[in-house]
Amino acid sequence: MFRIFFIFANKLGKDILIMNEVLLMNIRNRAATWLTESYDEQTRSEVQALLDNEDPTELIESFYKDLEFGTGGLRGIMGVGSNRMNIYTVGAATQGYSNYLKKEFSHLKQIKVVIGHDCRNNSRRFAEIAAQVFSANGIYVYLYDDLRPTPEVSFTIRLLGCQGGIILTASHNPKEYNGYKAYWSDGAQMVSPHDKNTIGEVNMIRSASAIRFDGDNELIEIIGEDIDRRYVEALTSISLSKDIIDRQYDIKIVYTPIHGTGVRLVPDTLKAFGFSNIIHVDEQDVVSGDFPTVVSPNPEEPAALAMAVEKAKATDAELVLATDPDADRVGVAVKNNKGEWELLNGHQTALLFVYYLIARRKELGLIKGKEYIVKTIVTTELIRTIAEQNGVETFDVYTGFKWIADIMRQNEGRLDFIGGGEESFGFLCEDFVRDKDAVSACAILAEMTAWAKDNGKTLYGLLQSIYADYGYSKETGISLVKQGKSGAEEIEAMMKNFRKNPPKDIAGSKVAYIYDYANLVGYSCNDNETFTLRMPTTSNVLQYIAEDKTKISIRPSGTEPKIKFYLEVHIKVANESELPEAERLALDKIEQIKRTLSI
């Protein structure tokens, strides 16, 4: 028996070895296509170095697949190869996008696009390459003169009546990454059918020879400060508390762009709202794609805000704001009741936005029964509670602001948009931008702080009063990083296991519902019945909902090599004095959930 097993195992090992050799040979053949005259000399040299290296790891990672143009565009590590961000993958994406724009808008005399970029290494170069490819295809290009926030690109598409646009950014990813976000004529990231059709066109570009790099400079217009001025003017129109800001104009606000695009426009917008005491973190005002003062430029991580918090302590500030490199996400730190600085999570920030925008509108008599807010399915359900109790409709969407923008598109002219947000530190307070906007978010957070102070509260105190009035919730996000091809396979296996073996109870509460968005099927555990989930498309997300309202959401990231877990528990409270005990109980529940999921 053991001999038979040994022979089988030995044969299996040989089979795997043969498979790996075949895979490596295919990858070498793919890499060899990048040695032709269609590619520049530096690229050919770098590819040859990968082929000559005895260790094939980097060769495999660079060429084992094509960097996928997904529904939001491209994102990947910079370098040579089909699975890397470089002028050829950017060129192919732009050529495919150009081909689709020309098909879809063939009736127009002139198709127009906007191009922006962030602070990352190679972002300007990639933006200029994209401008050359668009213009070579007869498309008129508005190219920003320097780095700009992602939401300003969305604003500009709508302002100038363009048919599309792109921004070169990898958001809050580490410095090795860059990315390419594509937009449609409404200023939003594309949804069906345009996303799939664009992907199809991009996938048809199989070699560099199919990319038109011979740009027409007559079709490229440099834009800049005039659009900035119009953007900031538009943002000031959303202020709800100008009179209060007049009284609280000098609250101390520490702001850091974390070396990114918010460096000028966030302070300019705060000043336009009426705030005069903006404190800079000088070291992080330095624009750099190397992000020299942080390990990761992600405002979700406490380390990214550490310097700003220290500045706040030194200056006795009242609010800390930090934006990611492309200024579409905002991190917030506030003083708690002990005078200690705390970072708010994305659920809490979204909760504050929704509460303030609804409560202040009610004070001003602006709630007419036609208002709505949008949140993602993994964002705290306490938002829905607040909205519903104040006569405001709630829409649930998938993670990704293109889905929030899609709801805005559907409701345009019918309902009034108050705001939309997601737990990953993105929020939108205005309807003339169709992507998350940290520039406006910073201004509204400052205004909210002024409003709270005018009512004798801190921003932290305002959050505590929300919990006391609507119930306490605690949310925790856990991301497991799984790099490369093997990591992607491990994430896929984990999702299969969670679907096949769902928990029967969560921290002592019976699982009541299971929602599998991959096939749009919901399951009622109590009734043993299935039902259809009403969403525009499928998505690889799995949710467990317990009888005590505990919610677990599991999904692979669409932009990073991670599997993400979103844990949410609810505790009933009668008043603010019960909040410390509620937090203790919530944390205990979360630990139980983590053990249940083995994470």
Q: What are the residue numbers of the active site? A: 171
211: left (phi > 0), else alpha (psi -120 to 50), else beta? beta
Alpha-carbon gap, residue 562 to 172, rounded angstroms: 14
Sequence-distant (≥ 6) Cβ neighbours of residue 115 within 8 angstroms: 127, 130, 131, 134, 141, 142, 143, 144, 153, 165, 166, 167, 168
Percent of the chain that is helix, strand, coil (3-state, to 5)? 45, 20, 35
Q: 330 with 436: CB under 8 angstroms?
A: no
Alpha-carbon gap, residue 178 to 323, rounded angstroms: 17
Q: 321 with 332: CB under 8 angstroms?
A: yes
Burial 244-260, CB ≥16 within 10 A → b, else e: bbeebeebbbbbbbbbb
Peptide bond into 193 cis (omega under 30): yes
* DSSP-derived secondary structure letter, 278: E
Q: Which of 63, 122, 119, 71 has its CA nearest to residue 93?
A: 71
Q: Which of 442, 399, 454 has its CA nearest to residue 421?
A: 399
Q: Which of 485, 495, 596 has its CA nearest to residue 546?
A: 596
Alpha-carbon gap, residue 414 to 68, rounded angstroms: 37
Q: 116 with 165: CB under 8 angstroms?
A: yes
Alpha-carbon gap, residue 124 to 117, rounded angstroms: 6
Structure tokens at 136: 């070579």
* DSSP-derived secondary structure letter, 303: G
Q: How many residues does the chain have?
A: 599
Sequence-distant (≥ 6) Cβ neighbours of residue 177 within 8 angstroms: 75, 76, 77, 78, 85, 120, 170
Place of tokens 């938002």: 383
- At 152, phi and psi to the nearest 5? -70, -30
Sequence-distant (≥ 6) Cβ neighbours of residue 466 within 8 angstroms: 351, 352, 355, 382, 386
The number of CA neighbours under 13 Å toward the Cβ of 51 is 18
